[in-house]
Chain A
Amino acid sequence: MLLVIEQLLNGLQLGITLFLMSAGLTLVFGIMQIINLAHGSFYMIGAYVGATVAARSGSFLLAVVAGVAAAAVVGAVVEVLVLRHLYKRQHLDQVLATFGLIMFFNELIRVIWGRQPLFMSIPAGLSKSIQIMPGLPYPTYRLAVIGIGLLVAVFLWLMFAKTRIGMQIRAGSSNREMVGALGVNINLLYTLVFGLGALLAGLAGVMAGPILAVEAGMGESILILTFVVIVIGGIGSIRGAVVGALLVGMVDTLGRAFLPAILRTMLSAATADSAAASLSSMAIYILMAAILVWKPRGLFPAHG
Chain B
Amino acid sequence: MKKLVIGLCALGLMLPTLSVAADPVKIGMITTLSTKAGYLGEEIRDGFQLAIDQEGGKLGGAAVELLVEDDGAKPEKGKQIAERFAQKDGVKIMTGIVFSNVAMAVVPKIIKEDVLYLSANAGPSDLAGAGCDPNYFSVAYQNDNLDEVVGQYVTEAGHKNVYLLAPNYPAGKDHLAGFKRYYKGALAGEVYTKLDQADYAAEIATIRDAKPDAVFFFLPGGMGINFIKQYAQAGLKETIPLYGPAFSFDERLLAAVGDAALGVKNGSQWTHDLDYPANKEFVAAFKKAYNRTPTLYASQGYDTARLISSALKATGGKSDLAALRPALKKAEFASVRGNFAFGNNQHPIQDIYIREVVKTETGFTNKTVKKVFAKHVDAYAKECKMQ
Contact = CB atoms under 8 A, between A and B. Distances in A.
Interface in B213-272: 222, 225-226, 229-230, 233-235, 252-253, 255-259
B198 interface: yes
Contacts of A122: 233
A218 B256 CA distance: 15
Contact of B233 (A211, A269, A280): A211
Given A10-B205, A117-B36, A277-B191, A221 B198 contact: yes
B193 interface: yes
Contact of B235 (A119, A128, A211, A260): A128
A119 B258 contact: yes
Interface string A134-169: 000101011000000000000000000000000000
Given A117-B36, A221-B198, A277-B191, A213 B226 contact: yes
A257 B202 contact: yes
Nearest to A3: B209
Contacts of B36: 115, 117, 215-217
Given A115-B38, A119-B258, A211-B229, A278 B205 contact: no
Given A115-B39, A137-B235, A273 B205 contact: no
Nearest to B192: A277
A121 interface: yes
A282 B209 CA distance: 24
Given A127-B233, A260-B191, A13 B201 contact: yes
Given A119-B258, A211-B233, A277 B193 contact: yes
Nearest to A139: B233
Given A3-B205, A211-B199, A215-B222, A256 B255 contact: no
B35 interface: yes
B205 A7 contact: yes
Contact of B206 (A214, A217, A257): A257
Contact of A6 (B34, B198, B205): B205
B360 to A, nearest CB: 16
Nearest to A254: B202
A118 B36 CA distance: 12
B194 interface: yes
Nearest to B166: A277
B238 to A, nearest CB: 11
Contacts of B206: 3, 7, 257, 260
Interface residues of A, number: 47
A25 interface: no
A235 B52 CA distance: 59
Interface string B166-195: 001000000000000000000001111110
B273 interface: no
Contacts of A116: 39, 252, 255-256
A90 interface: no
A253 B202 contact: yes
B126 interface: no
Interface residues of B, number: 37
Chain B at the A interface: SS class: helix
A187 interface: no
Contact of B202 (A7, A115, A139): A7
Contact of A129 (B35, B225, B234, B257): B234
B247 to A, nearest CB: 14
B83 interface: no
A117 B202 contact: no
A117 B201 contact: no
A102 interface: no
A289 to B, nearest CB: 18
A58 B117 CA distance: 48
A197 interface: no
B203 interface: yes
B233 A117 contact: no
A2 B203 CA distance: 15
A77 interface: no
A122 B257 CA distance: 12
Contacts of A211: 199, 226, 229-230, 233
A156 B175 CA distance: 47
A213 B222 contact: yes
Contacts of B198: 208, 212-213, 218, 221-222
Nearest to B38: A115
Contacts of B252: 116
Pick the most buried of A10, A127, A218, A222: most chain B CB atoms within 10 A of its CB: A10
Nearest to A210: B229
Interface in A120-136: 121-122, 127-129
Contacts of B199: 14, 211-212
Given A257-B202, A273-B190, A121 B258 contact: yes
Contacts of B194: 277, 280-281
A252 B222 CA distance: 20
30 contacts: A3-B206, A3-B208, A6-B205, A6-B209, A7-B205, A7-B206, A13-B201, A14-B199, A116-B39, A116-B255, A117-B225, A117-B256, A119-B255, A121-B258, A127-B233, A129-B235, A139-B234, A141-B233, A210-B229, A211-B226, A211-B229, A212-B226, A221-B196, A253-B201, A253-B202, A257-B205, A257-B206, A269-B190, A277-B193, A280-B194
Across the A-B interface, give the 10 residue pairs with the lowest CB-CB distance, nearest first.
Answer: A277-B192, A10-B201, A213-B225, A213-B222, A117-B256, A256-B202, A257-B202, A277-B168, A281-B194, A3-B209
Given A115-B39, A257-B206, 14 more contacts: A3-B206, A6-B208, A115-B36, A117-B253, A119-B257, A122-B233, A215-B36, A216-B36, A221-B198, A256-B193, A256-B203, A273-B191, A278-B168, A281-B168
